[in-house]
Amino acid sequence: AVVGGAAAVGSLNLPRNVHAAGSDMLKVALIGCGGRGSGAAKNATMGDENLKVTVLCDIFPDVLAQARERLGRALGDRLEVTDETCFSGFDGYKQVMETDVDVVLLCTPPHFRPAQLRAAIEAGKHVFCEKPVAVDAPGCRHVFETVEMARQKNLSIVSGLCWRYDPKVKATVEKIKEGSIGDIVAVHETYLTGTLWYRQPQPDWSEMENQVRNWLYYTWLSGDHTAEQHIHSLDKALWINDDAAPLSCEAVGGRLVRTDAKWGNVYDHFGMTFEFPNSVKTFAFCRQMAGCYNDVNDYILGSNGTASILGGTVTPKKGEAWKYDGPNANMYDEEHKALYAGIRSGNVINNGIYMTRSTMMAIMGRMAAYTGKKVTWDMAINSQEDMTPKTYEWGDVEIPTVALPGKTKFV
């Protein structure tokens, strides 16, 4: 029932220091102080005038220290942390939950999201939750349970699937859903882009440290780039299909450029076909390679025309073409504005169902590509493949192997 449920919006028993009038200070903790986390902290301060970041946490003390200095310059007195409210290590997030913060920003590598989200909801914190929310099916099942727990406790979960908060994208999706191009026939998703960062291993790094610092390139940490990055496109396909889970997926993928062992075990390209209810298909392609043609967009094919979601255009075969000409806004700020407005008004937001379905959809596509099998939703959500390491300790750990379609087994 949780897996099949809809996103919930309910009333709130306001946290201990926030009145419905919204006059009191909101205290925010950042867990995961890298580039995206630091960005989220800045977005948080743009989302509410009476808010301060009072707690910082990162696995690595050096990353935390750099972020503390960087955010100090950017936020000024909106950053109010002390040595006693800065935590590090694999279990640092547990100490965060013992503080008096109202909101937690979860911006660590995706592998850690299920446990951290559960800890935050159990501690009665509202959450901004970056995408994806898990890297395997057991993680998604865990998050579905946590989402229901948040609904019962009237706690907010706002997702980092930021396009759902972009004015142009929202308006374009609304036009499509109004039937301006007729019935949806197919969705064509592209996330063809360049390469991302890589951190050169240092002599004193253990294998575990190398993998966590270069988490993009290890499936157990990132979910592969179809989950870590392409999920934005897949989420829009899910949105267009009324957030209904896809029925099945066939996929291809591999490593044409990332052939060196330093790139871990992720692929550098995927091509996926998802079938949704009513025989609607989504054709999704992603690539992370330098020197290639780039295209990031969502093309919707209807019985009476086409639309480009990121282009903000709707072109019916019959009828007048439409192009978005409304106001623009920073979607990263907008999602935080919605989060804090919901907390203060009592109309909390729970994006948990669609953020977890989109994550599972990305994992489903990866499963199909890695194994070469046609994967159904039931197969995917019930998969027993658990990527949790034997221990969270610095030292030598297994180096994951690259999946070989036709040989890698579905678990």
- What is the reported pLDDT for 2? 36
- What is the reported pLDDT for 318? 87
Q: Of 139, 127, 129, 162, give the one whose Cα is nearest residue 219.
A: 139
Tell me the three state secondary structure of residue 107.
Answer: coil
The string over 369-396, giving b where at least 16 C-beta atoms fall within 10 Å of a residue's C-beta and e elsewhere, is bbbbbebbbebbbebeeebeeeeeeeee
H helical segments located in 154-223: 167-177, 207-213, 219-222
Strand partners, 104: 29, 127
- Beta strand ranges found along 237-374 (DSSP E): 248-254, 269-275, 281-288, 295-302, 305-308, 313-316, 322-323, 348-350
Please count the CA atoms within 13 angstroms of the CA of 296 that sit on its side-chain side.
Answer: 11
> Crossing angle of helices 137-153/113-122, nearest 10°?
20
77, with CB counted inside 10 A (0-12, 13-18, 19+), is exposed
Distance of CA 87 to the CA centre of its chain: 23
Tell me the three state secondary structure of residue 136.
Answer: coil
239, with CB counted inside 10 A (0-12, 13-18, 19+), is buried
Rounded to whole angstroms, how far apart are CA atoms 108 and 37?
8
- What is the reported pLDDT for 316? 97
- What is the reported pLDDT for 360? 98
Q: What is the pLDDT along the chain (411 residues), one digit of tens a residue?
A: 333 333 333 333 444 444 334 559 999 999 999 999 999 999 999 999 999 999 999 999 999 999 999 999 999 999 999 999 999 999 999 999 999 999 999 999 999 999 999 999 999 999 999 999 999 999 999 999 999 999 999 999 999 999 999 999 999 999 999 999 999 999 999 999 999 999 999 999 999 999 999 999 999 999 999 999 999 999 999 999 999 999 999 999 999 999 999 999 999 999 999 999 989 999 999 999 999 999 999 999 999 999 999 999 999 998 899 999 999 999 999 999 999 999 999 999 999 999 999 999 999 999 999 999 999 999 999 999 999 999 999 999 999 999 999 999 999
Q: Of 88, 139, 91, 149, give the one whose Cα is nearest residue 113.
A: 139
Rounded to whole angstroms, how far apart are CA atoms 132 and 397?
24
pTM score over 0.85: yes
Place of tokens 């052939």: 259
Place of tokens 């998703």: 189
Pairing assessment for the beta strands 126-129 and 103-106 based on DSSP bridges? parallel
Rounded to whole angstroms, how far apart are CA atoms 247 and 274?
7
